Amino acid sequence: MLIFVIYAIFASRFYYSAQDTGIFMGMFRIAPAMSHPDLTLNMYPLLFMVGGIALALEQCSEYLMIPDYLVYVRSRRGWSHFCRYCALLLCYCALFTGVQLIIAVMIVPGGQREYLLMTAICAALTLAVLMLIANVGYLLDCRVLGYVAAAALYIALLSLDGVRRWLISSWIGILPCWVPVLTVLFLALAMVNLIVFEHVEMY
């Protein structure tokens, strides 16, 4: 509850700031001038990711590693259990993003809602990717390393203006480049998680 209150207070300030509210709060921003500090411009997307990971309280990871008390009766956890974990992770990211998207839709002008939705999807997928990275550390019993890796990757993205500009550029039609990039990243990290998960399951 304390994490939620702190996050809600800081997130609510976004709509009173000078930032473009037509872009979802959790979506990374492009600096209008090369001299503009990237991290300063992207403090709200960083807050969104930190808040999203913190509010999960590792419940998804704990679900993945929940003990099977009938291990001597049933076969051990495998693909089906891992797929349910991925579904739970995506549902959490969609719920966390969706609640804030509904609030944003009620505030921003109607003409910007399509772009607001697209940027919200990008933020939700980015959050899912970062949570998968953190989960690798959880599975390896090295939580700090997992969170540091996730933070380093996202801060690197926020620091590289050229990469962000490429991600929002067109890929096929109106679809931006972040669509295939985040999809491939999610699938690749899911496979890494599955490999680590199966290795942990052996012991």
> How high is the pLDDT of residue 203?
47
Q: pLDDT value at position 95? A: 96
Tokens 């974990």 belong to residue: 85
The predicted pLDDT at position 127 comes to 97
pLDDT above 70 covers what percent of the chain?
89
Taken in order 140, 143, 144, 150, the sign of the CA dihedral is: positive
Secondary structure class of 20 (helix, strand, coil): coil
Q: Give the model's pLDDT for residue 124.
A: 97
Cα separation, 45 vs 36, in Å, equals 16
CA 133/CA 189 separation, integer angstroms = 7
Residue with tokens 């590792």, as numbered in its chain: 58
Confidence of residue 35 (pLDDT cuts 50, 70, 90): low
Half-sphere exposure of 144 (CA within 13 A, CB side): 0
Mean pLDDT of the chain: 86
Nearest by Cα to 154 from 175, 117, 176, 182: 182
pLDDT (tens digit, 9 = 90+) per residue, 101-122?
999 888 877 667 888 999 999 9
Mean pLDDT, residues 138-153: 93
- Residue 75: pLDDT band with limits 50, 70, 90: very low
The string of pLDDT tens digits covering residues 157-198 is 998 888 898 999 887 777 899 999 999 999 999 999 999 998
- On the question of pLDDT at 32 being above 80, the answer is no
pLDDT value at 33 more than 70 = no
Answer whether residue 144 shows pLDDT above 50: yes
